[in-house]
Structure 1
Amino acid sequence: MEEVSQGTTTPLLPNSNHPRRWYHHFTNPLRLKTALSSELSGSVGDLGTYIPIVLALTLVSHLDLSTTLIFTALYNISTGLLFSIPMPVQPMKSIASVALSDSLTLPQIATGGICTAVTLLFLGSTGLMSVLYRYIPLPVVRGVQLSQGLNFAFSAVKYIRYDQDFAANKSGGPRSWLGLDGLILAISCLCFLVLSTGSGELGSSTPHPTHLEETVSSSDRFRRRRLKLLSAIPAALIVFLVGLFLCFVRDPSIVKDLKFGPSKFHVLTITWDDWKTGFIKAAIPQIPLSILNSVIAVCKLSGDMFPDREASVAKVSVSVGIMNLVGCWFGAMPVCHGAGGLAGQYRFGARSGASVVFLGLGKLVLGLVFGNSFVRILGEFPIGILGVLLLFAGIELAMASRDMNSKEESFVMLVCGAVSMTGSSAALGFGCGIVLFLLLKLREIDCSKFVIWNSSLQSTKDSLDI
């Protein structure tokens, strides 16, 4: 494809609408379009789900934290460069939930991740995932996103209101108002994030300057400058660093327990019983959730947030497959690309792949420098602050369903979301949503065409009898 301008010929990439787009693609693969502070703030937007699950698996299932940090760091850096959007790397939540409730061993957790990875790799490489993405109704996808977002929000409220015991996978008594992990701290962080980030749209609340600057009142100019200044604050990063600082204040002995250097990599020994248990207990409930939330929902969400950079379902599916086929053999936590993580990172300012690259570099440093001893720091992190970060991520994901304009679409979405939440299964809600959508379409079928076709057939039959 070529574009001729003033006697010159400039080669273009397919679907390119600018003569220099190919140059910017290769010189700026991360598509960095916002301030560095916004990308840094957005990079910690999904830690509200990452830290609790990693901490729980480390304490209960003896997950190697150093290995998980290093591998997820490499995943973050790779996906940031590959997708050019803040594509998250999150734990496979269904596998983590089963591992904690049924006390699965590390090889069994790994086999669950490997079996899920093989399935997604097959669907992505054969094109079947693209077929599913093309024909699944949007209201059903929105229902899954709504249920996942509200589940995150409900969990976040529990984190804020009640003490948490991740090792026992249960909530404790009401959280005290005072203290270094009290309600006042969590509410203060919540208010700070609302004041600095607003609704989450960078600059959306700031009126655009007109060419007649004299017509703009001084109060409008002051408001514009104030909102611009607030949106430039890396709010989520500041909140996370405050929580990290409070870890050492809450327990100064952490410093003595830190040991430098990563743990040694080793390939897991997996038995046939591990394969059977991991597939039945971990992979079977995880596969539908990964297909719906980690591939289809996250691609739909990426199209909403980045219309010019919508992620390919085939690429996302293959990415999840390759990540886990590599890392799970070494005992790394099974991971996926979650819609909740993308919503959280976008909510706090991430607009390019740079945010997840920064997050990956941070994880890599922590994994190489502190290794498994970093679990002592995570164990003292204020859970109320994690709840605040998770709350914003959940609400942002749930708000993706606001584009359901007709009553029919909203009906399908709400039923799908309700079933997904009450049944604790995205697959069950998805199935109910599909059936409901088909029933509504069947109800609207124009039967007059069938009557005309039947009458014509009868006339032809009568003429043949004559």
Structure 2
Amino acid sequence: MKSIAAVAISDGLDFNIPEIMAAGICTGAILLVLGATGLMQLVYKLIPLSVVRGIQLSQGLAFAMTAVKYIRKVQDFSKSKSKEHRHWVGLDGLILAIVCACFIIVINGAGEERNERETGNVDDEERNMRSKRIKKTMANIPSAFIVFLLGVVLAFIRKPAVVKDIKFGPSPMEIVQFTSHAWKQGFIKGTIPQLPLSILNSVIAVCKLSSDLFPGKEFSATSVSITVGLMNLVGCWFGAMPCCHGAGGLAGQYKFGGRSGGCVAILGAAKMALGLVLGTSLVQVQHWDLFVEWWCMCFSN
């Protein structure tokens, strides 16, 4: 949940783990109630499509501008600040970034196929069929994942000593202890600003976009709202970062070829495996090298 994360980064002293978790639990509870009572479905029907399209446009522009900023300047993600301009040459230089961006554009930048009119020319039909086969083959290439793996490999090449920081095994799980102050601050600073964003982008926009991408198979606002509520009501008690669905994530996965439930299941299984195998060692990534996180955030967006 971006708004809660933004407050945690900017106000880390007064908005720590208990406040973050309290904000996630409160947001999840409200979304669960809205979904279970059918009110979210009513909101989905009342909000005009133009509002949803505006949200999607703003999200797309925000992601694009953020990606450009991350490419141009070195980032301090722990403080959410930009530092000096990124150099051109090197394993985290601008030249390599441009090459990877061009690779993704070549693989995924052609857009969706449109039905073409019959020309009646056998040669044209053969060329069209050959072109479609090439495009289909290229679409099956996991370009974003390849770039991510490249970033991981190059990060280890730059600093081989980071291997010593890796400790295998899951992190111990503890139930977060809350105070009345944590609940109050979490609700005021986290839940209130996050709720409109979650309702519009995490539920309404996701349902609208799913109806565009998968006609006849769209999600109901009720089910989406309930799933967001449940995963936060369960996870936040154990320190899981508040999370939700998002139109940007759905659009990105669809664009990069993830168009079935299997890809989401594989992603979830991979994250669980990393958490169980590496545990807290994953947190050290930002201290090893900002290169990995830079690649992840630029190209996942």
Partner of 2:227: 319
User: 1:378 deviation in Å?
Assistant: 4.9
TM-score (normalised: structure 1): 0.61
1:256-294 C-alpha deviation (Å, 9 max, x unpaired): 111000011110110111111111111110111111111
Change (3 A) 1:206 1:350: farther
Between structure 1 and structure 2, the one with the greater Rg is: 1
Contact 1:263–1:371 (CA<8 Å) still a contact in 2? yes
Partner of 2:96: 185
**Structure-1 separation of matches of 2:115 and 2:98:** 26
**Structure-1 separation of matches of 2:257 and 2:26:** 34
Gapped runs of 5+ residues in structure 1? Answer: 1-91, 394-466
User: 1:211 deviation in Å?
Assistant: 11
Partner of 1:232: 140
User: 1:216 deviation in Å?
Assistant: 3.4
Return the letter of the residue paired with 1:99: A
Contact 1:157–1:387 (CA<8 Å) still a contact in 2? no
The answer to whether 1:364 aligns with 2:275 is no
Partner of 1:138: 49
Structure-to-structure mapping, 1:304-315, within 5 angstroms: 304-315=212-223
Note the aligned Cα RMSD (angstroms).
2.1
**Structure-1 separation of matches of 2:156 and 2:115:** 39
The answer to whether 1:286 aligns with 2:194 is yes
Contact 1:236–1:348 (CA<8 Å) still a contact in 2? yes
Contact 2:139–2:256 (CA<8 Å) still a contact in 1? no
Contact 2:66–2:298 (CA<8 Å) still a contact in 1? no
> Helix, strand or coil for the counterpart of 1:336?
coil
User: 1:334 deviation in Å?
Assistant: 0.3
Structure-to-structure mapping, 1:86-101, within 5 angstroms: 92-101=1-10
**Structure-1 separation of matches of 2:96 and 2:245:** 31
**Structure-2 separation of matches of 1:217 and 1:311:** 37
**Structure-2 separation of matches of 1:327 and 1:169:** 25
**Structure-2 separation of matches of 1:152 and 1:322:** 27
1:49-98 C-alpha deviation (Å, 9 max, x unpaired): xxxxxxxxxxxxxxxxxxxxxxxxxxxxxxxxxxxxxxxxxxx0000000
Partner of 1:250: 158
Partner of 2:184: 276
**Structure-2 separation of matches of 1:127 and 1:228:** 40
**Structure-2 separation of matches of 1:200 and 1:261:** 42
1:359-404 C-alpha deviation (Å, 9 max, x unpaired): 11111111111111122235424455235414xx4xxxxxxxxxxx
Contact 1:180–1:382 (CA<8 Å) still a contact in 2? no
**Structure-1 separation of matches of 2:72 and 2:127:** 39
Name the % identity: 55
Return the letter of the residue paired with 2:2: K
Return the letter of the residue paired with 1:169: S
> Helix, strand or coil for the counterpart of 1:315?
helix
Structure-to-structure mapping, 1:60-459, within 5 angstroms: 92-103=1-12, 104-201=15-112, 204=113, 214-216=122-124, 220=128, 222-379=130-287, 380=289, 381-390=291-300, 393=301
Contact 1:124–1:318 (CA<8 Å) still a contact in 2? yes
User: 1:183 deviation in Å?
Assistant: 0.8
> Helix, strand or coil for the counterpart of 2:160?
coil
Count of residue pairs brought into register by the alignment: 297
1:235-261 C-alpha deviation (Å, 9 max, x unpaired): 112111111111211211111111000
Return the letter of the residue paired with 1:254: V
Contact 1:240–1:385 (CA<8 Å) still a contact in 2? yes
Return the letter of the residue paired with 2:236: C
TM-score (normalised: structure 2): 0.92
Contact 2:286–2:293 (CA<8 Å) still a contact in 1? no
Change (3 A) 1:216 1:282: same
**Structure-2 separation of matches of 1:326 and 1:284:** 20
Gapped runs of 5+ residues in structure 2? Answer: none
**Structure-1 separation of matches of 2:175 and 2:298:** 37
**Structure-2 separation of matches of 1:325 and 1:221:** 50
